[in-house]
Amino acid sequence: MGMTITEKILARHAGLSSVKPGDLINARVDVALGNDITAPLSIELFHTSKAKQVFDKDRVILVLDHFVPNKDIKSAMQAKVVRDFARAYNITHFYDAGETGVEHVLLPEQGLVLPGDLIIGADSHTCTYGALGAFSVGCGSTDFAAVMITGQLWFKVPETIKFIYKGKLNPWVGGKDLILYTIGDIGVDGALYQAMEFSGPVIENLGMADRLTMANMATEAGAKNGIIAPDEITRNYVSGRATRDYEFFKSDPDAQFEDVIEYDVGDIEPQVAFPHLPENTKGISQVGHIPIDQVVVGSCTNGRLEDLQTAAAVLKGKKIAKGLRLIIIPATKQVYRSAMDEGLFEIFLDAGAIISPPTCGPCLGGHMGILAQGERAVATTNRNFVGRMGHTESEVYLAGPAVAAASAILGRIGGPDQVM
């Protein structure tokens, strides 16, 4: 019997000829990631274990991105714990200050996560790297500590749901709209502890930024991982970035899927997820009149250069609504520099936007854009739970960069066709 791409990667890393859903395996890990929120606890456990060194100083990656630049004393102390550990154990890939960026944009950009890898990260959106054809999954701080010491971790092989996207994309519809529509269809527990394999002619023609966005939000459907079979688009993306060898896997023709779900993307318009769950989606034509106070364009979901280019295309020559706050957050230094060099910053500043340094910031209610009681925001982030971006009586509406930019101009939720 054939195997899915997820099963093949797990089997390879467990040293087995095959695996099947439900199997418990112990597998070697290619990359282990921690950040300024999750790594401090892992470091404490590492020291408690009396470990002498990490399993591989080139494979443990530490990124300070959630509360940087440090917003207060507590976050500064957390960051110091990670900085001290990185220096003490000579961690090769430690990102801080002017070199840091939002981790799930930074690692693919730097060629540190690659096709065929098995990647764990002490952050739920580690599933992003499945867009490269890797098995990539979030874990807790305790598991991250164990991997830092041993380079291995146990896994339960997940079932796979195959999603097939066909047809022609409508204007302004991208990866964010496809994944929001999918989550709206199956629900936030629709792929619980399962792999979401995204496929079909539409996916084969999506650029890497859109693929990364889709894999990023697999966790919002309860999935263990999201994954896309690597192809020439993948090869073109990683060939100039890869720091080591990589391998392409794809599902066998006779692989067994728990379910196969097909979509005609011609039925999908730009999407908006209403509070307080990513499954509460509506097409932009069904939104109605909803005034807003803030718009955020950024995050590990939509903080890439392509996202900023889309927002700039909508905003060019226009002003944001009076009294509204528009916050633009380039996800990495490279994205920041490229956006600046392309003249996107001039468009954003002329429109009345605030430009932030790379940070997760408001996405998790950290800083750089916290909502007050009763305020509403449109955000290109990935979660809109109660209190996610600030006060428990605030509201977050999720959308792609085109809808976000248009909404900033309108002062209410709306699509680019209403302002272009």
Quote the pLDDT of residue 35: 97
In this chain, the answer to whether the domains covering 5-263 and 271-418 adopt an identical fold is yes
Q: Is the confidence at residue 293, as pLDDT, over 90?
A: yes
Quote the pLDDT of residue 400: 98
Q: Is the confidence at residue 40, as pLDDT, over 90?
A: yes
Fold classification of 271-418 (topology level): Aconitase; domain 3 (3.30.499)
Quote the CA–CA distance of 152 and 32 in Å, as a whole number. 10
Quote the CA–CA distance of 147 and 142 in Å, as a whole number. 9
Quote the CA–CA distance of 180 and 271 in Å, as a whole number. 7
Q: Which string of b and e fits 374-402 if b means at least 16 CB within 10 Å?
A: ebbbbbbbbbbeeebbbeeebbbbbbbbb
Number of neighbouring beta carbons within 10 Å of residue 355? 18
Number of neighbouring beta carbons within 10 Å of residue 49? 12
- CATH code given to domain 5-263: 3.30.499.10
Q: Is the confidence at residue 18, as pLDDT, over 90?
A: yes
> What would the pLDDT profile of 331-373 be if each residue is shown by its tens digit?
999 999 999 999 999 999 999 999 999 999 999 999 999 999 9
| pLDDT tier for residue 1 given thresholds of 50, 70 and 90 | confident
Amino acid at 403: V
Domain boundaries, the chain: 5-263, 271-418
Distance set, CA 93 to CA 58, 113, 178, 191 (Å): 7, 12, 33, 33
* Angle of helix 344-351 versus helix 333-341 axis, rounded to 10: 80
Token digits of residue 146:
């164990």
Number of neighbouring beta carbons within 10 Å of residue 243? 14
Three-state DSSP at 67 gives coil
Quote the pLDDT of residue 243: 85
> What would the pLDDT profile of 159-181 be if each residue is shown by its tens digit?
999 999 999 999 999 999 999 99
Backbone torsions φ then ψ of 65, nearest 5 degrees:
-140, -20
* Angle of helix 39-48 versus helix 73-88 axis, rounded to 10: 50
| pLDDT tier for residue 203 given thresholds of 50, 70 and 90 | very high
H or E element at residue 181: helix 175-186
Q: Is the confidence at residue 32, as pLDDT, over 90?
A: yes
Q: Which residue has the tokens 């966790």?
A: 219
| pLDDT tier for residue 101 given thresholds of 50, 70 and 90 | very high
DSSP state of 263: E
> What would the pLDDT profile of 74-87 be if each residue is shown by its tens digit?
999 999 999 999 99
> What would the pLDDT profile of 211-235 be if each residue is shown by its tens digit?
999 999 999 999 999 999 999 999 9
The pTM for the full model equals 0.95
State mean pLDDT over 279-284: 97
320 within 8 A of 408, measured Cβ to Cβ = yes
281 within 8 A of 273, measured Cβ to Cβ = yes
Amino acid at 192: L
State mean pLDDT over 130-143: 97
Three-state DSSP at 224 gives coil
> What would the pLDDT profile of 251-269 be if each residue is shown by its tens digit?
999 999 999 999 999 999 9
